[in-house]
Amino acid sequence: MDDRQLLRDLTWCIEAPSLINSPSWDGLQPLQSLLAEAKLAALPIVKPAPRLGHYYEQLWQHLLTDRLSWPLVAANRQISAGGKTLGALDLLHYAPSINTYCHTELAVKFYLRHESGDAQHHWIGPNAIDRLDIKIQRLTNHQLPLPQHPESKAAIDAWIASKSLPNRECASWQSKMVVQGWLFHPLQEQTKPAHASINPQHLRGHWLHHSAAIPQSAQSAHWILLPRLYWLARALIKREACVHSDSIGCWQNLRLNQPVHLTAKSLAHCLRQQQNSAQPQALLLAAVVPDGNYWREIDRWMLVPDGWPQPRTRSALPPFSK
């Protein structure tokens, strides 16, 4: 991943809409407003984590710590009591200008609409285990209230003291959740209303099973299979940064580290191999057009195993987003 992609992903965090429609659940818009007014920090030195969720946390940690100049109290810090882990805080900062400790829970999600989409449980992850209703319940009932537990307060007070920051009793407290990502709709009936908790301005793509041919109207001369660290911002990738499809030895057990350029013919071959695989994978596919020395995304598709939404076993699943 080059510096250009890193900057695109930072910009995506600042500009991408929330997946969640309720302001009582989401703290994204206030943070985006602050970041839009802040000075651009120097290019961060970020070695992206191998998992997309952790990379997403790194981006937000940089934005809040370096761009807003909020002292960092804790990042992905576990809280334990009596030998039992109670949970972990994604990010905890101190905002000096408002004398407030800002607890931020982060989630970057990719859900596919199954059935009508007018219920939260109709939005399912590509691995068929993750669901919107489960994630929202976890965030609202466990993650956001976690700092208010007596055991958590003791741990947090110790972290604050180690940073020589004001006591929590002398400052305000905010717990916010930031939920961004993409929602994928069946090719037909894309205008169908979603559940009220879904932001109608969400980023969207299409989804298909591996065996379903991409419709002729959506055919592109060029496609790119995107590794998970490229799933945030729309693709704008140097041509020389892409692996050519001919260099892929085995399509059945594909583990992407670089973007893979495909033609319509090699895409069809890839999907046939996935259909025959014992462990077929969900693939994120971008339709692209030439843009100078780059490939520029014009549409994206999530391609899932034919059995989806029946979940596979966890042992067979490659890592997805947090």
* Neighbouring-strand partners of residue 301: 206, 285
Secondary structure of residue 287 in the 3-state scheme: strand
**What pLDDT tens digit does each residue of the chain (322 aa) get?**
777 888 899 999 999 999 998 766 678 988 999 998 886 666 666 777 789 999 999 999 999 999 999 999 999 999 987 788 889 999 999 999 999 999 999 999 999 999 888 889 999 999 888 999 999 999 999 999 999 998 899 999 999 999 999 999 999 999 999 999 999 999 776 567 778 889 999 999 999 998 887 766 666 788 999 999 999 999 999 999 898 776 565 555 566 788 999 888 888 888 888 888 788 889 999 999 999 999 999 999 999 999 899 865 443 334 333 4
The model's pTM is 0.90
What residue spans define the domains of the chain?
Answer: 3-182, 199-316
Q: Provide the Cα torsion 102, 321, 319, 4; round to 10°.
A: -100
Return the number of other C-beta atoms located less than 10 Å from residue 143's C-beta: 20
**Sign of the dihedral defined by the CA atoms of residues 90, 96, 97, 99, in that order:** positive
Rounded to whole angstroms, how far apart are CA atoms 168 and 186? 48
- Report whether 224 contacts 242 (CB < 8 A): yes
What single-letter DSSP state applies at residue 140?
I
Residue-level pLDDT at 42: 60
* Neighbouring-strand partners of residue 80: 85
* Helix pair angle (28-37, 3-15), 10° resolution: 120
Span between the terminal Cα atoms of the chain, in Å: 20
Rounded to whole angstroms, how far apart are CA atoms 297 and 234? 6
